[in-house]
């Protein structure tokens, strides 16, 4: 009985290390654009729960594979050391061996390709192209001699793949059609994701500089990174205002001001709530605006 309990505890410990490795807090960032794309499709009268579920699963698998890939290559390249300030990285901490992490990201990328094939079967070439590039750039984010995160291209990747590509792609999977609103609202969401990345890069400037990880924060300094964050948030707020999401726009500005005053920095970099919270707020406000507009049209017809 004692041996059974010891084995159970050992397996639980290993399981807990893998949970840390996949970084659950980051997964809400990959789910947010899927949620928005699905909501916009539903608003336009077209929603299939099965394909929405498969889209969400595929997005999660790609994000997990990318997280494990980052854990492995940041350790191999010396970016993750004992001086690391942010959340624990299991490879650097010696909790899971590098070869197991490597097998892990290969497994999740293959699993994502399998679930993605179901979406490709429904949608054809557009989703095949989006899915293929998502897998490729998820790997190249930290892998290879010209890894995106090491040469200052991470922001572009995050804006595109956590923004218009994910939102418009999800919408297309549901409707088999494209819509300019999904692109615009996707850019808004991508800028929010980018702002979170910028805060993380600002925190890691010294460590990244030692590892020759040339993020934009390292290349141009903390003042530039601070301005980059503000521009991302203000531009996102402007887009929300353009889309008649006034409350979302004001909320983004408030978050920007509080972060500038160092009130929310740790909360944003360590929390999983900002991206999905703002996404849900935008969806709710967008739905409310649509209901109000429909009621006004209906009243005009009666009058």
Q: What is the pLDDT of residues 224-271, one digit of tens each?
A: 998 999 999 999 999 999 998 999 999 999 988 887 666 555 555 555
What pLDDT score was predicted for residue 239? 97
Assign 207 to helix, strand or coil: helix
Side-chain-side CA neighbours of 274 within 13 Å: the count stands at 26
What pLDDT score was predicted for residue 117? 97
- Spatial CA neighbour of 59 closest among 140, 8, 172, 135: 135
Summarize the confidence of residues 182-210 as an average pLDDT: 91
**CA-to-CA distance for 223 and 221, rounded, in angstroms?**
6
% of the chain beyond a pLDDT of 70: 86
pTM for the full model?
A: 0.89
Summarize the confidence of residues 61-81 as an average pLDDT: 88
**CA-to-CA distance for 223 and 287, rounded, in angstroms?**
38
**CA-to-CA distance for 239 and 255, rounded, in angstroms?**
16
Least confident among 125-129, 203-207, 275-279, 296-300: 296-300
Decide if 224 contacts 261 (C-beta within 8 A). Answer: no
For 13-57, the pLDDT digits (tens) are: 788 889 989 988 889 999 999 999 999 999 888 999 999 999 999
Look-up: residue for tokens 């994000």?
Answer: 63
Decide if 224 contacts 205 (C-beta within 8 A). Answer: no
Q: What is the DSSP string of 153-201?
A: -HHHHHHHHTTHHHHHHHHHHHHSS--HHHHHHHHHHHHHHHHHHHHHH
Q: What Å distances lie between residue 139 and 113, 120, 179, 261, CA to CA?
A: 13, 20, 29, 35
- Tokens found for residue 270: 């360590």
For 164-191, the pLDDT digits (tens) are: 999 999 999 999 999 999 999 999 999 9
**CA-to-CA distance for 162 and 158, rounded, in angstroms?**
5
């Amino acid at each position: 009985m004692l041996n059974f309990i010891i084995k159970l505890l050992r397996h639980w410990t290993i399981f807990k290390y893998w949970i840390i490795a996949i970084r659950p807090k980051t997964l809400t960032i990959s789910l947010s654009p899927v949620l928005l794309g699905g909501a916009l499709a539903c608003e336009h009268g077209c929603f299939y729960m099965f394909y929405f579920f498969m889209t969400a699963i595929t997005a999660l698998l790609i994000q997990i594979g990318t997280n494990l890939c980052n854990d492995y290559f940041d350790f191999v390249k010396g970016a993750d050391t004992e001086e690391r300030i942010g959340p624990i990285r299991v490879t650097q901490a010696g909790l899971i061996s590098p070869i197991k992490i490597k097998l892990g990201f290969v497994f999740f990328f293959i699993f994502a390709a399998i679930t993605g094939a179901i979406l490709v079967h429904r949608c054809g070439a557009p989703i095949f192209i989006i899915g293929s590039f998502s897998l490729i750039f998820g790997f190249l984010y930290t892998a290879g001699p010209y890894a995106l995160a090491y040469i200052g291209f991470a922001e572009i990747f995050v804006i595109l793949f956590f923004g218009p590509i994910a939102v418009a792609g999800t919408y297309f999977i549901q409707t088999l059609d494209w819509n300019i609103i999904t692109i615009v609202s996707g850019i808004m969401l991508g800028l929010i994701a980018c702002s979170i990345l910028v805060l993380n890069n600002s925190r890691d400037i010294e460590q990244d500089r030692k590892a020759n990880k040339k993020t934009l924060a390292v290349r141009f300094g903390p003042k530039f990174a601070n301005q980059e964050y503000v521009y991302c948030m203000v531009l996102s707020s402007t887009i929300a205002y353009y889309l008649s999401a006034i409350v979302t726009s004001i909320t983004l500005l408030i978050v920007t001001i509080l972060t500038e005053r160092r009130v929310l920095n740790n909360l944003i970099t360590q929390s999983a709530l900002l991206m999905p919270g703002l996404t849900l707020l935008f969806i709710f406000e967008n739905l409310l605006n649509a209901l109000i507009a429909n009621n006004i049209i209906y009243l005009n017809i009666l009058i």
